[in-house]
Every structure is written in C-alpha cells, then in structure tokens.
Amino acid sequence: MYRIGQEEVDELKKVIEGGTLFRVGSPYLAVENFEKEWAGTIGADYALCVNGGTSALIGGLVGLGIGPGDEVIVPGYTFMASAIAVLAVGAIPVIAETDGTLTIDPESVEDRISEHTRAIMPVHMMGFPSDMEQLTEIATRHDLLILEDACQADGGSYKGRRLGTWGDAGAFSFNDFKIITAGDAGCVVTDKREVYERALIYHDGGASFRPYAEDLSTPPFIGVQNRVGELIGAVLRAQLRRLDGILADLRRVKKQFSSILKENSSLQFIESNDPEGDCGTTVGLRFPDETTARTFAGAGGVNGNLPIDTGKHVYVNWEPILEKRGAHHPALNPFNLPQNAGLNMEYSKDMCPQTLEILKTTVFIPMNPDWTPQELEARAEACIKAGRDL
C-alpha cells in the first residue's frame, strides 16, 4: 500500500553522489538524519535505525536488559517475530489472549503475570492501538517494563500520543508490507539513554571501534550486525515525509467507508481502543460465527479475509516455539537454559480459546489510501449487499 517515486530517487542520488554508502563517515548522514527525524516525528528522545522490525524488537529487549530468567507476555495474535525476539535474547515468551480490539487483552495479561514476568509486549496489530492506558497501569502496579511492537502501526497513536512512545521502548518495521518502507528496515525508540546505548552497542558488532564509543556511558559488550547503510537511510527519509499524508488518506478512506456501511447495513464493527489514533489500514467486522464470516468475506467485491487464516500471525502456527526449538544450538536454546527452569513455557494450541474465536469470526477489509471516491463506494456497496444476503 506504500507510495514510492521520484522523492526516493532524489534522496538516493544525493547519497550515491556523496560517495559513501556506510552510515559511519558518510557526508550525507542519511541514517543519522533519519533517526533524528523519526525521533522528532514520533516524539521520542532517541531512535536507532536497524535492518528490520525483528531487530528493532531485539534491540528494545536488549536495551531493557531482558534475558534468561525473564518472562515476557506477548499476544497470541501477532507475527511470530514478537515471540522470536523474546527468545533471541534468551527469555521466554508467555502467550496471552487477544480481545475484541484484536490487540492484547489486559485482563489476560494480569492472569499471565508471575514472579518471573519482566515485561509486556503490546502489539498494535493492523494499526489498531492497544489499550496503553490499562497496560501502563498494570505494568506500573506490577513493576514491569513495556516494549511496544508498533511494527504494523508506523505513525499511529493512542489518545494523542504516538504508538511506540507509551512504553519504555517501541519497535517499528519498514518492511515491504508496512505503511512506509525501505524493503526491509526497522527502528527502535526510547526516551532512556541507557536503553538506547545498549541497543546501539548490540546492533553494531564494531561498536567498541566507532567514534561514538567515546560518548557512551555503557561499556561496549558483544553485539551483532543489525546496522543499515546509507541507501536505506535515504529511502527512509523520503518515506517519512510521506507518512502523515498516507495516514491522513487511510483514515479518511476508512472513515468514509465505515460511515457508508453504518448508514446502510447492520454490520457489526470490531471495537477500537482509539478510533482517532487507528492507522486506518483495515476495517474489521465481527460476525456471529465462522461460517457467516467466511460467506461474507468471500462474497463478490468484498475482498475480505479472516485473521485466523493469516498463518504466521496466529500462535497455533508457531511450530518452532510450540515445539521449543528456540535456537540453532541446544545449549543456546532458551527452553533448555537452567535460568529458565520453572518459567511458564507450557504451550498448547488451545491455550487462547478467546483469541481463536475472535480470529475466526472477524473479517478484515483492507483499505487503500489511493482509492477514488467511485472505488470506495463500489467496495462499500459490495459489503452492504453481502451483509444483506447473509
């Protein structure tokens, strides 16, 4: 759904003419400038651009000091990467229910909290904001950290504050399916200097040799290579300038589409924690049962899909996790680590029945910011007719 064109070409040209594609020492400083611009747009003190949303989540967890011995609560409806990131730092993902907003159910989060819980990872699926007020209250009461997975919600907000800035850290993805993109990239944001420094060190195996090492108050430890180069930075700078325009168009399209449906049908909309902050990428409708949902989704012109069919986004399909293959080597597998003995790692396909029921009875209709008024009306009409024919 993203937009791309001459602006990206112009930014790339500047970087290429500058003659340096590595972020360190580049005269154009595309990645560094993007980080400043992203932090400014989102409203965070620090931003670190990395090579994907998964790396951003891992950077956030490393930044927060999460590791073996820790449980992190994730929703059962998210891309498996949310749980993978937890395992990548040696901790254990505990899977909680999703509620009627298609985001993590705060009540289920409370249920899953144990003496080992260190953090909650709300995921703003499809750009739908999680209930950050309630989750913040729970985290404060239990002394837990929050890492927001805003990978599907670039630029979205909750109660007037951008997603990714409610928690102790937030992670974004700019892969090919996101609101803005560089093919593959991501960003982690935080207001905490220490979290930023730890994520910075981790994302750059050469951290101890870089000029910036002199300014760090955290002694460099061993990291990996999750950096991005200047070409990615160049594309992201141009993409960022498109962000608020895309969001405004998506929200306008979603509002118009929804009001046509509300005026002309009795179709039931999913609940929202903040309709104003919602990114507008998707309209969600709820049906009394799966058969009705499937009939509606498959009706001519509706172009609907059921979240239960989205494979990797549903915990029942996370085979490597359900079967506890948590790393490439048994000695590094968090499920085998002695520090994790006694943690909650009981997984089963029926552990989140509420989530499965909601995913089976919901239909998503993807919005497009570039629909003409005629296209929008025709699609809404198709839904009204499909609803009438049920």
Ligand X SMILES: Cc1ncc(COP(=O)(O)O)c(C=O)c1O
- Contact footprint for ligand X (CB under 6 A): 52-54, 78-79, 81-82, 123, 149, 151-152, 173, 175, 177, 186
CA 321/CA 280 separation, integer angstroms: 31
SS3 289: coil
Q: Which is nearer to ligand X, 173 or 273 (CB)?
A: 173
Q: Which is nearer to ligand X, 81 or 250 (CB)?
A: 81
Q: Min. distance of Cβ 18 from ligand X in angstroms?
A: 26
Tokens 């805003």 belong to which residue? 150
Longest dimension (CA), the chain: 68
Q: Which is nearer to ligand X, 60 or 220 (CB)?
A: 60
Residue 348 burial (CB count, 10 A): 10
Q: Which is nearer to ligand X, 108 or 152 (CB)?
A: 152
Q: Min. distance of Cβ 216 from ligand X in angstroms?
A: 26
Which pair of tokens denotes residue 310?
Answer: 């989205």
Q: Which is nearer to ligand X, 173 or 258 (CB)?
A: 173
CA 58/CA 63 separation, integer angstroms: 8
CB 22 within 8 A of CB 15: no
Q: Which of 37, 73, 81, 318 is nearest to 189 (CA)?
A: 37
Q: Which is nearer to ligand X, 177 or 209 (CB)?
A: 177
CB 154 within 8 A of CB 171: no
Nearest residue to the partner ligand X, using Cβ: 53
Q: Min. distance of Cβ 340 from ligand X in angstroms?
A: 23
Q: Min. distance of Cβ 125 from ligand X in angstroms?
A: 6
Query: H helices of the chain, where?
Result: 6-18, 30-42, 53-63, 81-88, 106-112, 132-142, 193-203, 230-264, 290-298, 319-322, 353-360, 373-388
Q: Which is nearer to ligand X, 226 or 258 (CB)?
A: 226
Q: Min. distance of Cβ 383 from ligand X in angstroms?
A: 25
Q: Which is nearer to ligand X, 54 or 361 (CB)?
A: 54
Which pair of tokens denotes residue 122?
Answer: 């709300």
Using CB atoms within 10 A of its CB, is residue 208 exposed (0-12), middle (13-18) or buried (19+)? middle
Which pair of tokens denotes residue 314?
Answer: 């549903």
Q: What is the DSSP letter of 46?
A: E
Q: Min. distance of Cβ 178 from ligand X in angstroms?
A: 7
Q: Min. distance of Cβ 277 from ligand X in angstroms?
A: 17
Which pair of tokens denotes residue 381?
Answer: 């009409």
Q: Which is nearer to ligand X, 101 or 173 (CB)?
A: 173
Q: Min. distance of Cβ 160 from ligand X in angstroms?
A: 23
Q: Min. distance of Cβ 288 from ligand X in angstroms?
A: 28
